[in-house]
Amino acid sequence: MDKNQELAQRILESVGGQTNVSQVTHCMTRLRLNLVDDSIVDTNEVKKIPGVLGVSQKGGQYQIIIGQTVPHVYDAFMGQLEKSGITVSQDESEQKQVEKEPFSLKKLGNAILDGLAGSLTPLIPALVAVSMFKMVIAVFGPSMLGVIADGSQLYQLLTMVGDAGFYFFPILLGYTASKKLGTTPVLGMLLGAILVHPTLIQIATEGQVFSVYGISASAQNYSNTVIPIILSVWVMVYVEKFYKKIVPTTLATVFSPALAIATMLPIMLIVLGPIGFRLGEYLSRFLLSLDSVAGFLAVAVIAALWQFLVMTGMHLLLITTMITVFAQNGQEALVSPAAIVASICVAGMSLGSFLSLRKKDERALAFSFLVASFIGGVTEPALYGLGARYKKPFIGLIIGGLAGGVYAGITGVTTYAMIPVASFIAMTAFFGGTTANTINGLIACGIGFIISAGVTYVLGVKETKKEVELVEKNTVSSR
């Protein structure tokens, strides 16, 4: 049994075994579990497992922080479930949760965060891919180096690929939201395709009269939108379940999907679509207004607190709004610059800890966190292995983020590509505008990095022997 299989087996045993797991997903660093009964889990014991960097419970999920090896641990975990003949079912999870817990605002909030995370997280590879194409155009295109000529076939190809991910975002999100919320994925994709159909876009662009089954509707251009398709998929979960119950089994294969889509057309195009479109506009305006209301301090505050928002899961609300703004405007000057500065500050905090520590093994550990964050784009090992454990490095992280954010806010730094990774590659998002914008973005990150490292080094990192042994044991085992 290799380390990943051993880690997966110990985690499964610690969370109550196969029968207590109803859903399993993972992001870049965390194994995300939906448990039937999380009250039976001893979190302190889970944290002691070699290879586990930390545990977080939010959004209705039991999240175990693994680090960069989480995809391998996820595969091993799913292998353990398959060996036991356990079928992971989201529907069973939802049913049992409803039976066990009464409705509350906290439960509603957790469900919303869980739904957003489960819908948006799987899209990260696609967002990374299209953003890299946009970055290549920004750097090598006519606005900067001029290597790729405007109107050339290569320019057209790269632009087409870069725009496709955002233009057809409702289709991609229709799939991931359906997988998360529990309806047929291809039907979710079909709803997204309807929203971006050229005929509907033409009607919206020309302001033509539009109706659904004779009922007047407000046609909108839903390309590059987020909220309309999520709302539509959420409602279709109940619509599809309804038809599966009332349509005879022998006819369900043919009629249930058609009836579900037919029912969703007026609901989506008359009600949910326009509501989601307007809500997206309001969120965009609200986010953009923060800059005018709070000025440069808005970027600074977000940069200083961003990593704590990530640790609590509250960053998902800002990310959803950021995606909406970026998809509609092609640029964003508040959340994205702050998040990039904050991510670079984690590397600075790791460097400061590395310089402050004296023992060889401890320095090697801090340096591995530096590499993981700056090169690999994984910040959580440093956040939990240095910040949460020793506390003082967090002070350096906050001050560095505040300083870098102040500079970014004062100079009006803007991002032109959404790079959803926290490594040095994220700084390429500053390319695409003026040369001054690129330089100021890099300077803001440099300020955050240097100050985070400096403050952390000056404050020092004091650790006990017990703490050092525990961190070393967990981190080495997770490699």
User: DSSP string of 288-335?
Assistant: HHHHHHHTHHHHHHHHHHHHHHHHHTTHHHHHHHHHHHHHHHS-BSSH
What is the strand order of the sheet 30-35 is part of? 21-26, 30-35, 61-65, 54-58
- Quickly count: other Cβ atoms within 10 Å of residue 205's Cβ: 11
Tens-digit pLDDT profile for residues 343-375 = 999 999 999 999 998 878 778 888 888 988 888
Closest to 46 (Cα-Cα) out of 81, 82, 14 = 14
Arithmetic mean of pLDDT, 270-280: 89
pLDDT category, 135, cuts 50, 70, 90? confident
- Which pLDDT does position 231 carry in this prediction? 92
Residue 89 has what pLDDT? 44
Point out the catalytic residue in the list 27, 138, 345, 447. Answer: 27
pLDDT at 471: 44
Residue percentage of the chain with pLDDT more than 90: 32
What is the DSSP secondary structure assignment for residue 415, as one 8-state letter?
B
Terminal CA-CA length for the chain: 15
Q: Which residues pair with 57 in a beta bridge?
A: 62
Q: Answer yes or no: is pLDDT of 61 > 90.
A: no
Alpha-carbon 409 to chain mean position:
23
Residue whose C-alpha is closest to residue 393's, from 472, 455, 300, 447? 455
Bin 460: left if φ > 0, else alpha if -120 < ψ < 50, else beta.
left
pTM to 2 decimal places: 0.62
Q: Tell me which of 327-331, 368-372, 466-470 is least confident.
A: 466-470
**Region at 17 (left for phi over 0; alpha for psi -120 to 50; beta for the rest):** left
Identify whether 445 is a catalytic site residue. no
Which residue ranges make up each domain of the chain? 3-101, 168-292, 295-478
Name residue 395's amino acid. I
The residue that leads in pLDDT, 424 or 187, is 187
Nearest to 11 by CA among 68, 77, 60, 59: 77
Compare 359 and 450 and report the one with higher pLDDT: 450
Q: Check residue 468 and give its pLDDT.
A: 45
Reported confidence tier of residue 213, pLDDT bands at 50, 70, 90: very high
Write the burial class of residue 174 (CB in 10 Å: 0-12 exposed, 13-18 middle, 19+ buried).
Answer: buried
Tokens of 477: 């085992």
pLDDT band at 190 (very low <50, low <70, confident <90, very high): very high
- Distance, in Å, from the CA atom of 321 to the CA atom of 24, rounded to the nearest integer, reads 26
Token pair recorded at residue 416: 């032109």
**Is pLDDT larger for residue 377 or for residue 167?**
167
Name the H helices within 15-150. Answer: 43-47, 70-83, 90-100, 105-120, 124-140
Instruction: Look up residue 385 and give its two tokens.
Output: 């292995």
- pLDDT of amino acid 349: 95
Fill in the DSSP letter of residue 25: E
| 302: its two tokens | 């977000």
Tell me the mean pLDDT in the region 17-21.
86
Q: For residue 335, what are the contacts with CB-CB under 8 A and spacing of at least 6?
A: 287, 302, 318, 319, 321, 322, 325
Most confident of 205-209, 230-234, 293-297: 230-234
Residue 263: per-residue pLDDT: 96
Confirm if 31 and 66 have CB atoms less than 8 A apart. yes
Which residue blocks in 267-295 are alpha helix, DSSP H?
273-294
What length does the chain have?
479
CA quadruple 226, 228, 231, 234: dihedral sign: negative
% of the chain with per-residue pLDDT over 70: 85
Q: Which two tokens stand for residue 316?
A: 């998902």
Q: What is the pLDDT averaged over residues 96-122?
A: 63
**Mean pLDDT value across the chain:** 82
Residue with tokens 């091993």: 76
Fold annotation for 3-101: Gyrase A; domain 2 (3.30.1360)
